[in-house]
Structure 1
Amino acid sequence: MTSEADHKPPRRAAIIFVFITVVLDMLAFGIIIPVFPHLVQVMTGGEISTAVRWTGIMGAMFGLMQFVFSPVQGALSDRFGRRPVILASNLALGLDFILMAVAETLPILFIGRIISGVASASISTANAYIADVTPKDKRAAAYGLMGAAFGIGFIFGPALGGFLGGWSVRAPFWVAAGLALANFVYGYFILPESLPRERRSARFDFREANPLGALRMLRRYPQVFALSIVFFLAALAQFSLNSTFVLYSDYRFSWGPQEVGYTLALVGLCSAVVQAGLVRRLVPKFGERRVMLAGLVFGVCGFLTLGFAATSTLFLLGIPLLALAGLGGPTTQSIITRQVDPGEQGRLQGAITSLGSLATVFGPFVFSQIFAFFIGPSAPLHLPGAAFILSAMLLAFGFILGWRATVDLHPMTPEPAAHAEAGLPSSGELPAMADVEDRK
């Protein structure tokens, strides 16, 4: 029988690869952020209002493609394995960035943006891979590491994109293509398959490989469904920052690009420290449930601080609180994965990613409109921070929902070796409904 030590190197190498995959993907997407609107502007004849409208349409289409195809990729990975789906996604992204780099017309660029949305849906497969290769009591730390990868990509990606954009508006697309294709080559030679054939789905079912089918799957697990809503609310709340931060800080504190850039870099750095460092230290001591709920509380306090801050100093005090809100995401996701069979992890992660993509579609519009309304002449009161206050309310509701959904969940403890070998649940795991049916 293979010893536990024999499994550690492949598992460590696999997690490192997925971490590098996410970092490179986020770098690739971050690099084009500063120049994409300018490329659209070039293709629309230099008209700013037209460029803004088309940039918004393409951003919404990107989110819509993620919403539709995340369950598809998740189901494909459950049927055929994680490795081919991840590699195909990396290859498609690399070729797509080349397509956008050479695009001369708006329709070609639009098609490229659609392909990006389809291919980037593979984050659901990466998350399922983590669930495959990580022990249950270590998953929160692993998902925290993935959150840190997002932070690293978005700290350095836009800065590198801005630097490259000084040479050419198309240069960042070529570098992004190089990163994605290098990721494909690296994975082709390094990445092992994480889902054994005996644990794969017997068939690919189109009825479940779509957003509505994915939601029906979540409904089979009441606790998972409730925590998925918490995950969605947290993702939606985040868009108050993405959608209004630049305009809000200019309106309230007269910040320019330099102050905004430094502040966003600080946000990314603090988030990376919390998710890569604190999660793995706090979960063994306090348990996943307490850490998840604490993250939601910190998020409420952070957004309220931003919303009511009268000075830039008070506003900056909200950043550490928002960084600590990052404790909630990895722990929520870890709790969710323990309730679902290994052969359904791809569909589970596809459903969760699809919900996050739905936030991408609606979040920017909702929060930008709220900000515009509460600084406009028809507002019942002048409240520039209304978007942040709404985010605090969303997280407060998420806290209540998360508290009720996990009230019977015991703190996560390391799984005894005897239980692991026998396939028994750990003390912190609630049996999934499908598992209960199997035991009958």
Structure 2
Amino acid sequence: MSSPAASTPVRQAALVFIFVTVLIDVLSFGIIIPVLPQLIKQMAGGDTGDAAHWVGLLGTVFAVVQFVFNPIQGALSDRFGRRPVVLISNLGLGLDFVLMALVQTLPWLLLARVISGMTSASFSTANAYIADVTPPDKRAGAFGMIGAAFGIGFVLGPALGGLLGEIDLRLPFWVAAGMALLNFCYGFFVLPESLPKERRTPRIDWRRANPVGAVLLLLQYPQVYALAVVVFLSQLAHYVLNTTFVLYADYRYGWGPQEVGYTLGVVGICNSIVQAVLVAKIVRRYGERKAILAGLCFGAIGFAWQGLATTGLLSLLALPFLALWGCAGPASQVLMTRQVDPHEQGRLQGSLSGLVSFSGIIGPGLYTTIFAWGISTDKGWHLPGAAFLLAAVLLAVAVVVAWRATLNLRGYTPPAAAAGPDHAA
């Protein structure tokens, strides 16, 4: 069900803040990406093998904690409002980055990552905030802007972190802390509450404020549950880029850090253009359903192309397809928010974030194992792109699920199709 939208000036100010919040959060996380493994290696006494073990452990623990706490954060935002959850998240992240800058041992760094997982609520709560203040026919553009913030943050963040890390390994953590704390101060004085008291849940149902309860919430809305499966498959496919692309490009194309960095920068720029400029226009013209199906198809083609490309130049031709895959996420968000009561938007976003975190638990190990299997010398075949082909298969399955799930969903009807009976097809 759609919720009443806020007045235009308030809505615009709130959306600007949410955009800035997500951008700064992604920047702060992106800044530490190039230096965190090096800091871990330093704490491990320079032992690369031991450092690799801790990198994997910290990544898995972070995803597990997010998986457990995201539904709780969503339920808290439904009960007490979005504003306090966003502000506490920003404050917690800022203090946590300070802790990461100061710790001298790996167990303390592990504790800091646990705190990061507990307090990183701003993404799911930001999506709920958008559903509160944006009319249904404008949500695709708003969610696209959030996607653009992710793209910009992941382009600028690692580059800035690499520069700062050359000065001192701990400097990026201090800069990330400053960004998060400035974001807290900005929100404290600027951010209005988006969820009126009369639309908040009267109490927190702790039976549903957990990963299992989150899935049960999705089961109450069969259409949302099916689309949540699409989101999960899409996120699981995305982890092939996070975990395997650098190793794959080095092994198959002989790319070093500079070539990989340029390529990831192009990916981020293309993704930002699609999210900020094209998503809203595509949804207005074709509707959410066609945007989802087309986006997933483009993604499957892009990953298959990436996995089969024999040269680096050929692999670059896959980037536009992967960027257009970005149409599927915002359109899916819009359709799901239309099916859920306004007072449950926070729990919906918490549930979806829990699924994303769950994909982060299984994705890294899955793709690195498949990649190692594909290049193994004791097999009778050689398939270095196997991990990308698996991602393409996952998105192909997502296309089938989305096709069936969206047959009868209530979504935005483009003006050109409003009078005809065939829009849903």
TM range, normalised to the smaller chain?
A: over 0.9
Q: Per-residue CA shift, 1:350-398, capped at 9, x if unaligned?
A: 0000000111111010001000001102434211111111111100100
Pairing 1:37–2:41 present: no
Residue aligned with 2:116, SS: helix
Partner in structure 2 of residue 87 of structure 1 = 87
Q: Do 2:93 and 2:120's aligned partners in 1 also have CA atoms closer than 8 Å?
A: yes
Q: Do 1:70 and 1:122's aligned partners in 2 also have CA atoms closer than 8 Å?
A: no
Q: Per-residue CA shift, 1:288-309, capped at 9, x if unaligned?
A: 1101110001001101100111
Partner in structure 2 of residue 154 of structure 1 = 154
Q: Do 1:371 and 1:386's aligned partners in 2 also have CA atoms closer than 8 Å?
A: yes
Q: Per-residue CA shift, 1:82-103, capped at 9, x if unaligned?
A: 0000000000000000011111
Partner in structure 2 of residue 279 of structure 1 = 279
Task: Decide which moves more: 308-317 or 266-275.
Answer: 308-317
Describe how 1:201-280 pairs up with structure 2 within 5 A: 201-280=201-280
Task: Decide which moves more: 33-42 or 229-238.
Answer: 33-42
Q: Per-residue CA shift, 1:43-84, capped at 9, x if unaligned?
A: 111111101110110011111111011000000000000000
Partner in structure 1 of residue 11 of structure 2 = 11
Q: Do 2:335 and 2:411's aligned partners in 1 also have CA atoms closer than 8 Å?
A: no
Partner in structure 1 of residue 78 of structure 2 = 78
Q: Do 2:246 and 2:260's aligned partners in 1 also have CA atoms closer than 8 Å?
A: yes
Residue aligned with 1:166, SS: helix
TM-score under structure 2 normalisation?
0.95
Describe how 1:129-168 pairs up with structure 2 within 5 A: 129-168=129-168
Q: Do 2:5 and 2:132's aligned partners in 1 also have CA atoms closer than 8 Å?
A: no
TM-score under structure 1 normalisation?
0.92
Q: Give the distance between the partners of 1:126 and 1:14, measured in 2 at CA.
A: 10
Query: Match of 2:118, as an amino acid?
Result: V
Partner in structure 2 of residue 48 of structure 1 = 48
Partner in structure 1 of residue 418 of structure 2 = none
Sequence identity (%): 58
Q: Do 1:304 and 1:389's aligned partners in 2 also have CA atoms closer than 8 Å?
A: yes
Q: Give the distance between the partners of 2:210 and 2:308, measured in 1 at CA.
A: 41
Partner in structure 2 of residue 333 of structure 1 = 333
Pairing 1:125–2:102 present: no
Query: Match of 1:73, as an amino acid?
Result: Q
Q: Give the distance between the partners of 2:323 and 2:352, measured in 1 at CA.
A: 22
Q: Do 1:137 and 1:414's aligned partners in 2 also have CA atoms closer than 8 Å?
A: no
Residue aligned with 2:339, SS: coil
Q: Give the distance between the partners of 1:71 and 1:6, measured in 2 at CA.
A: 25
Describe how 1:325-364 pairs up with structure 2 within 5 A: 325-364=325-364
Q: Do 2:6 and 2:134's aligned partners in 1 also have CA atoms closer than 8 Å?
A: no
Q: Do 2:94 and 2:180's aligned partners in 1 also have CA atoms closer than 8 Å?
A: yes
Q: Do 2:35 and 2:169's aligned partners in 1 also have CA atoms closer than 8 Å?
A: yes
Describe how 1:291-310 pairs up with structure 2 within 5 A: 291-310=291-310
Q: Do 2:335 and 2:410's aligned partners in 1 also have CA atoms closer than 8 Å?
A: no
Query: How far did 1:134 drift?
Result: 0.6
Query: Match of 1:112, as an amino acid?
Result: A
Q: Give the distance between the partners of 2:326 and 2:350, measured in 1 at CA.
A: 21
Query: How far did 1:414 drift?
Result: 7.7
Which structure 1 segments of 5+ residues have no match? 416-426, 431-440
Q: Give the distance between the partners of 1:59 and 1:259, measured in 2 at CA.
A: 25
Q: Do 1:141 and 1:276's aligned partners in 2 also have CA atoms closer than 8 Å?
A: yes
Q: Give the distance between the partners of 2:11 and 2:410, measured in 1 at CA.
A: 27
Pairing 1:169–2:169 present: yes
Q: Give the distance between the partners of 1:407 and 1:255, measured in 2 at CA.
A: 44
Q: Give the distance between the partners of 1:57 and 1:331, measured in 2 at CA.
A: 34
Q: Do 2:85 and 2:121's aligned partners in 1 also have CA atoms closer than 8 Å?
A: no
Partner in structure 2 of residue 435 of structure 1 = none
Q: Per-residue CA shift, 1:96-125, capped at 9, x if unaligned?
A: 000111111111111111101111133111
Partner in structure 1 of residue 196 of structure 2 = 196
Pairing 1:405–2:417 present: no
Q: Do 1:75 and 1:350's aligned partners in 2 also have CA atoms closer than 8 Å?
A: yes
Count of residues in Structure 1 that have an aligned counterpart in Structure 2: 416
Query: How far did 1:331 drift?
Result: 0.3
Query: Match of 1:205, as an amino acid?
Result: D
Partner in structure 2 of residue 101 of structure 1 = 101
Residue aligned with 2:85, SS: helix
